[in-house]
Structure 1
């Protein structure tokens, strides 16, 4: 197998395939996304972002596993949304229904979008980039996108039909028909109530 030697900066100037990105990621400690063939480096997250991502992931994972609903993927997981040029996005948390995963875990990027994507906004995230990710998820089949905003202590829920609503810190996040029965009091996310 030929060795792929690429110098990766914040964003590459040439087109890269999803398979090439997978090779790069295997040799490198950085996280990347592939936006229409261009590599975008994703800087390490801060402690608040990591805690919130971990909290949502843990609760979703336990719930999905206990109810045999599907698979919950961590932030490093890439989802191949388009080819030629390739589009690989990585949500902070992704959920895929059980029937869509069977036989598809092959050590590559997951083919297609998650059914539910969670994005936790970091201080260095630009609003337009967050909205681009939301639109990429929704236009490729994601049924729910939760955008967690630590600064305002809100979660915005986006759906493919164009509806969106904002939950406050005292509200409860609901998996709707994508993760049926899943409920997460947001007070727990912001440490106002433990348990």
Structure 2
């Protein structure tokens, strides 16, 4: 299936991704997932408004590859202002990789599926992927150099070069 065919699927309320040309159905997230995502997303939005600008959002499709066609919708994302198209935020899928992709792991999610998402974002050019684990109250930051840095509940989550000046106590996400 192509990106365009995927975009034109009927809206039946099902959660889907396009992974290497195949449609993958996903379970909607649970309650804790939504609360943690909102807490982190609101902190990113405040940082963006006070500093570099750009677009912070949730669950929007990003074309990570056209051959094979792959569209992923991170739970939270950030796109720098110079990566937002001149025409503005697209009504359809984004045709750029996000500068930050965040995946909040749900209880039933398989570790291999999470790793595959991280690899897809990094391969598309995303400089920073955060995987948030509500059960263990930690965030793992993945970067293209292959490093995975674990930020435990007592730690501070930083944006590194991708999000200059962003800092957030990890515990704030899980209070």
TM class, shorter-chain normalised?
Answer: over 0.9
Alignment of 1:190 with 2:174, yes or no, is yes
Please say if 1:86 is aligned against 2:69. yes
CA distance in 1: counterparts of 2:90 and 2:156, whole angstroms: 35
Pick the structure with greater CA Rg: 1
Find the partner of 1:121 among 105, 109, 116: 105
Contact kept, 8 Å, 1:69 with 1:179, in 2: the verdict is: no
SS in 2 for 1:53: helix
1:29 paired with 2:9, answer no
Shift of 1:28: 2.1
**Preserved CA contact (<8 Å) 1:65 1:71:** no
Whether 2:115 is the aligned partner of 1:149: answer no
Instruction: Name the structure, 1 or 2, with higher relative contact order (CA <8 Å, separation 6+).
Output: 2
Aligned residues: 174
**What 5-or-longer segments of structure 2 have no aligned partner?**
none
1:7 aligns with none
Q: Unaligned stretches of 5+ in structure 1?
A: 1-15
Residues in 1 aligned to 2:90 and 2:101: alpha-carbon distance in whole angstroms: 21
> TM-score normalised to the size of structure 2?
0.94
Choose 57-66 or 131-140, whichever is displaced more. Answer: 57-66
**SS, match of residue 88 in structure 1:** strand
1:184 shift after superposition: 0.8
TM-score normalised to structure 1 length:
0.85
> What is the CA–CA distance in structure 1 between the aligned matches of 2:103 and 2:67, rounded to whole Å?
25
SS at the partner of 2:44? helix
Give me the CA root mean square deviation: 1.3
- Output one character per residue of 1:97-118: Cα deviation in whole Å (capped at 9) or x when no partner: 1001032533111012111111
